[in-house]
A and B are shown apart, each in its own frame.
Chain A
């Protein structure tokens, strides 16, 4: 297997004690975590609603004015985002002893500033539990930027650092899904976008004009075509011609809850997430597209092989090969 990409993950840090914050920041830096802090506690739920790509929540037991209130906050977070592990920082030894069984279930672990090893264990177990080969991560990013740049020729497409999410909240209103299946992976790719943002960029696209303005169907079709382009390139780059295909045909139901913009792929695994931006620098305009890879049915990165020959093929895409 090729080398492994040092992926990052975003964690929500609910902490007031400055000394503890310093230790946690250092821990985040050492463990590929990006800590997000909230200034006003009253904004926590609103911030949770706007950050749909988190990996975990780090909550201090003295974050609220009493332990009961902190537990109540954990309950609210758990109700809103049950897929996010909450790790509780205790001020005294890191045990669950004082908490009731019901309260304990809100947290996946506890830790103290003097002993961060339980926190490290949670991060490894809940966030960085799957390894992703570097060539795969880099390749996905490259082929998707290329597909986006081709579809939106007047915009500059770029990719941010890929990361791991445990969130199940869908970004925007439009998403496309396509299955991926090979001898080394089985799952789905998902693209997510905001309808209004895509409509805005289509407003000055060659596909639309005053007589034929873009509507939600245009958005659906464009996102579908980008998905198709990425899917085709993914197969060309990462699935060998003689790949025997998946060894199993098992399936699990996917569940989508529209009201909560929630999707479950039936697995507790974290997702590999990419965020792309499409920018019109002349208009100071920028939109985001999120891409998830969810290998919920099978994942065997040690069997992954990048197909070297496909690099040349990819350069030639768009050209007519006459038989």
Chain B
């Protein structure tokens, strides 16, 4: 089963998005911030897709993506940002770090599920 890592400091989002993806046949692992996300990614090599918030304590989502590429040397995992931010400058920074896509909250599960399944396959 495909594994998705959800990184968000809001347990409401982790529960809501995680619950939806689990119901739709995806295996979900959660992390509470960017730092936790990096360690979960290290500990779970089977993760194919990371769905991450931007604004989080300890380490923000974009810094986490940059570290996934630079420190973990992981260039294969797909990362999608799920955030309230829609600032093009942040999107550009994400693109440069290898982010595959951007979703402005709130999350609408049905419309993006198929893409998730493809990216995490």
A positions within 8 Å CB-CB of B = 147, 150-151, 206-207, 217-218, 221-222, 224-225, 228-229, 231-233, 235-236, 241, 310, 313, 316-323
B106 touching A150, Cβ below 8 Å: yes
Measured CA separation A313–B95 after assembly (Å):
18
Measured CA separation A316–B106 after assembly (Å):
10
Measured CA separation A236–B80 after assembly (Å):
19
B positions within 8 Å CB-CB of A = 10-13, 15-16, 19, 55, 80, 83-89, 91, 94-95, 99-108, 111-112, 115
Q: Write the nearest CB–CB distance from B119 to chain A, whole angstroms.
A: 9
Measured CA separation A231–B86 after assembly (Å):
12
CB-CB under 8 A from B107, the residues of chain A are 318
CB-CB under 8 A from B101, the residues of chain A are 320-323
A221 touching B87, Cβ below 8 Å: no
CB-CB under 8 A from A236, the residues of chain B are 84, 86-87, 104
Checking A221, A229, A310, A321 against B105 with a beta-carbon cut-off of 8 angstroms, the contacting residue is: A229
Whether A313 contacts B86 in the complex (CB less than 8 A), given A206-B19, A228-B10, comes out as yes
Interface of A is mostly: helix
CB nearest to A208 among chain B residues? B15
CB-CB under 8 A from B102, the residues of chain A are 320-321, 323
CB-CB under 8 A from B103, the residues of chain A are 318-321
Measured CA separation A14–B76 after assembly (Å):
71
Q: Write the nearest CB–CB distance from B46 to chain A, whole angstroms.
A: 22
CB nearest to B8 among chain A residues? A225
CB-CB under 8 A from A217, the residues of chain B are 11
A225 touching B10, Cβ below 8 Å: yes
Measured CA separation A3–B18 after assembly (Å):
44
Measured CA separation A139–B78 after assembly (Å):
35
Checking A207, A317, A318 against B12 with a beta-carbon cut-off of 8 angstroms, the contacting residue is: A207
Taking each of B15, B91, B100, B115, which has the highest tally of chain A beta carbons within 10 Å of its own beta carbon? B15
Whether A318 contacts B10 in the complex (CB less than 8 A), given A232-B83, A323-B95, A323-B99, comes out as no
B12 touching A222, Cβ below 8 Å: yes
Q: Write the nearest CB–CB distance from A216 to chain B, whole angstroms.
A: 13
B99 touching A317, Cβ below 8 Å: no
B16 touching A317, Cβ below 8 Å: no
Checking A151, A316, A319, A322 against B100 with a beta-carbon cut-off of 8 angstroms, the contacting residue is: A322
Whether A318 contacts B115 in the complex (CB less than 8 A), given A232-B86, A241-B87, A323-B100, comes out as no
CB-CB under 8 A from A222, the residues of chain B are 12
Checking B19, B85, B105, B108 against A207 with a beta-carbon cut-off of 8 angstroms, the contacting residue is: B19
CB-CB under 8 A from A235, the residues of chain B are 84-87
Measured CA separation A317–B11 after assembly (Å):
20
CB-CB under 8 A from B112, the residues of chain A are 319-320
Taking each of B13, B86, B95, B107, which has the highest tally of chain A beta carbons within 10 Å of its own beta carbon? B86
Measured CA separation A224–B83 after assembly (Å):
14
A317 touching B104, Cβ below 8 Å: yes
Measured CA separation A207–B23 after assembly (Å):
13
Q: Write the nearest CB–CB distance from B49 to chain A, whole angstroms.
A: 12
Checking A221, A231, A316 against B104 with a beta-carbon cut-off of 8 angstroms, the contacting residue is: A316
Measured CA separation A114–B111 after assembly (Å):
65
Measured CA separation A229–B16 after assembly (Å):
14
A sample of 14 more A-B contacts (CB under 8 A), given A235-B86, A241-B87, A320-B101, is A147-B106, A224-B10, A225-B10, A228-B55, A229-B106, A232-B104, A235-B85, A317-B86, A317-B104, A318-B111, A319-B103, A319-B104, A320-B80, A322-B115
Could you give 19 example pairs across A and B, Cβ below 8 Å? Answer: A218-B11, A221-B10, A225-B10, A228-B10, A228-B84, A231-B84, A232-B85, A233-B84, A235-B85, A236-B87, A236-B104, A241-B89, A313-B86, A317-B104, A318-B108, A319-B108, A321-B91, A321-B103, A323-B91
